[in-house]
Structure 1
Amino acid sequence: MLGAIGVTVGSGFVGNATARRGGAVDRVLSTGSPVPENIGFDDDGNLYVGIVAGSVRRLPADRTDESGLGLDATTEVATYPGGVAGVLVSDGTLYTAVNGESGGVYAVELDSDDGPNELATLLPDGEGFVNDLYRDGDRLLATESFGGTVYEIPLDGGDPGVWVQDPLLDTSSFGANGITRIGGCVYVAVTRAGDSGRIVRVPVNDDGSAGAPRTFAEGTELFGADGLTARGRQLYAALNSQNRIVRLTPSGEVKTVVEGDPLSFPSEVVFDPTEPGRAFVCNFSQENPERAGVLRTHP
């Protein structure tokens, strides 16, 4: 879930707690380099961390309430022929977006000893960036950040294809990124649209096809919109270059819930399914790998 690396908004925060918004922010896991780009949970509360060098590591559920851990607290689940972007666990399967000589989506059955299986090659020449994943019923939706595209990957073995491609998702910089769904609409974060960020809402038709995309929210307060998560009727977005986590109300109002140190280029925010009020943040922090890892907070 790469974005606008190198743009940082100073906040004056010190230590492990935010001074103005949100509760305490604890550093659960420090990875160093290579850095993590995305995280996800399984239903049992095990945390999966995608590493840009091409692996996914798992932190067991009984350790997610600890702080100050290193990679030795995790186990390697799978390795891939490229860098890992999106991470999704659903029904015992780990899905990942991987970019290397080609860009595609892989699956690993977690209760087997089999390695990753490539479900779909979306970018055969490797040009572009397959980014985030969302499971929508019997298919996966995958964003591609340089072509303004969301791909559809059937889980029954059917051929993948373009679900939606639209100028609202495409920018001269980094476009379609995080993806989630609330009710009858899919929401896609657009990282950089000039000096602004954007959240695009795409209606899902009765047959599963995409309706006409519309801007749900846009502005400088969303610049760097990266990972996108739904909780009830509200959206949560990680704003990488602003070191902020924001909540968007159903009307599109943007409210900061956590900001400042120790956030460092946050690329994803997800909620623990076993403790829904508890959120985990991925610090991508490629330019400052000593700050890279996973944080815990209660936004």
Structure 2
Amino acid sequence: MFKKLSTSALSAAVVVAAAAATLTPTSASAACAPLSGARIAVHFDLAKGQTPENIALAPGGAAYVTFAEGRQIAEVSRTGAIRILATLPVPADGGVHTPALGFPLTVGLVRAHDGTLYFLYATGTADLTGVWRLRPGGQPQRIAALPADGLPNGLALDPHTRTLYATDSVLGTIWSVPTAGGTPTAWSTAPELASTGFLGANGLKIHNGALWATNLDKGTVLRIPILPGGQAGEVRTEATGLPGIDDFAFTGHGDQLLAALNGPSEVALVQGDGSHSIVLTPADGLQNPTSIALRGDTVYVLSAAYVTAKDPNLLLAHLDE
């Protein structure tokens, strides 16, 4: 997450599931191996609140995204056309009591195989904060309330157990919620998830039998095994020294991953041993990157421009073998 007009940067993630050939590049690449051919493919409209926070790739090349400041769920076509699917209601107080940020925002997003979208909405109010569902052609519906004094952020889906997991960046918690909805469970409240003053647990992915999460304040990547009974195992810190780390994506090479570093506007390649190198920088067009996704050998990086306040965009790059 980010902090608006602050030197601290928030998470944000958006991406267009477009094939690279269908999108027109607008900048030259300064990417470092194993990335190449980085170029801005889509420019979003900051004036419309199109600050991309999260992404869910869809079959056929489209993507579903959350626009945080716009409180919206949108579909982005293969050619970059944007269609708003839902706009979430404004809280009665305008969202001024949203923890850490002071405005309501749509955050984590995942897509189930049947096309159902699950996403998070943070408002600082008990009637709206929580896990929401949007079925194809339907209307958004909250299926689980989360604490109004928290800030739900990252979201992951385990389709086998039909369980949603959500990070809370203020309360330092990972919640679990059945996809059918209901009362959330505090799956992990490990101290490694806690904030040191702004935002703690942030990005979230399921990988090789474990939940992996980032901590923005601490600059860490964490691994929490999912035990046979579904409970959380012991937390292990897999990487450190990653300032402003937000979302991330595994490359398909073991535990190697790409991580968005929001504050410095960089993308880091993090190896399985925890070492890392910078592979994308502001010279490539990054503006407070918030999310990363991969489709085959194409890397999608979303920039929300929360702090730079210019050119929120989607950058594409090629992941070389």
Return the alpha-carbon distance in structure 2 between the equivalents of residues 247 and 208 of structure 1: 30
- Match of 1:94, as an amino acid? L
Residue 226 of structure 2 corresponds to: 204
Return the alpha-carbon distance in structure 2 between the equivalents of residues 115 and 99 of structure 1: 18
Aligned partner of 1:178 among 195, 203, 206 = 203
Residue 235 of structure 1 corresponds to: 257
Return the alpha-carbon distance in structure 2 between the equivalents of residues 19 and 175 of structure 1: 31
Whether 1:225 aligns to 2:245 is yes
Deviation at 1:224, TM superposition (A): 0.6
Residue 119 of structure 2 corresponds to: 96
**Identical positions, percent:** 28
| Contact 2:144-2:182 within 8 A present in 1 as well | no
Q: TM-score, normalised by structure 1?
A: 0.85
- Match of 2:87, as an amino acid? T
- Match of 2:193, as an amino acid? L
Deviation at 1:277, TM superposition (A): 1.0
Equivalences, count:
272
- 1:1-299 to structure 2, matched below 5 A, reads 1-2=1-2, 5-6=6-7, 16-19=27-30, 21=32, 22-23=35-36, 24-33=38-47, 34=49, 35-52=51-68, 53-61=70-78, 63-64=79-80, 73-81=81-89, 82-91=104-113, 92-100=115-123, 101-102=125-126, 103-110=129-136, 112=137, 114-123=138-147, 126-137=148-159, 138-172=162-196, 173-193=198-218, 197-219=219-241, 222-232=242-252, 233=254, 234-261=256-283, 262-272=285-295, 276-299=296-319
The 1:128–1:167 alpha-carbon spacing in structure 2 relative to 1, beyond 3 Å, is same
Superposed CA deviations along residues 176-202 of structure 1, whole A, max 9, x for unmatched, are 000112212211000012xxx001110
Return the alpha-carbon distance in structure 1 between the equivalents of residues 139 and 150 of structure 2: 25
The 1:99–1:159 alpha-carbon spacing in structure 2 relative to 1, beyond 3 Å, is same
Superposed CA deviations along residues 208-235 of structure 1, whole A, max 9, x for unmatched, are 110011211112xx01110122232222
Unaligned runs of 5+ in 2: 10-25, 90-103
Residue 15 of structure 2 corresponds to: none
The 1:78–1:122 alpha-carbon spacing in structure 2 relative to 1, beyond 3 Å, is same
Return the alpha-carbon distance in structure 2 between the equivalents of residues 16 and 295 of structure 1: 9
CA RMSD of aligned residues (A): 2.0
Q: TM-score, normalised by structure 2?
A: 0.79
Return the alpha-carbon distance in structure 2 between the equivalents of residues 3 and 252 of structure 1: 27
| Contact 1:179-1:186 within 8 A present in 2 as well | yes
Return the alpha-carbon distance in structure 2 between the equivalents of residues 296 and 228 of structure 1: 15
| Contact 2:111-2:118 within 8 A present in 1 as well | yes
The 1:6–1:27 alpha-carbon spacing in structure 2 relative to 1, beyond 3 Å, is farther
The 1:132–1:55 alpha-carbon spacing in structure 2 relative to 1, beyond 3 Å, is same
Deviation at 1:291, TM superposition (A): 1.2
The 1:239–1:3 alpha-carbon spacing in structure 2 relative to 1, beyond 3 Å, is farther
Farther off after superposition, 97-106 or 248-257:
248-257
The 1:7–1:155 alpha-carbon spacing in structure 2 relative to 1, beyond 3 Å, is closer
Superposed CA deviations along residues 155-191 of structure 1, whole A, max 9, x for unmatched, are 2445321111111010222100001122122110000
Return the alpha-carbon distance in structure 2 between the equivalents of residues 223 and 121 of structure 1: 31
Deviation at 1:20, TM superposition (A): 5.0
Unaligned runs of 5+ in 1: 9-14, 65-72
Deviation at 1:257, TM superposition (A): 2.3
| Contact 1:204-1:210 within 8 A present in 2 as well | yes
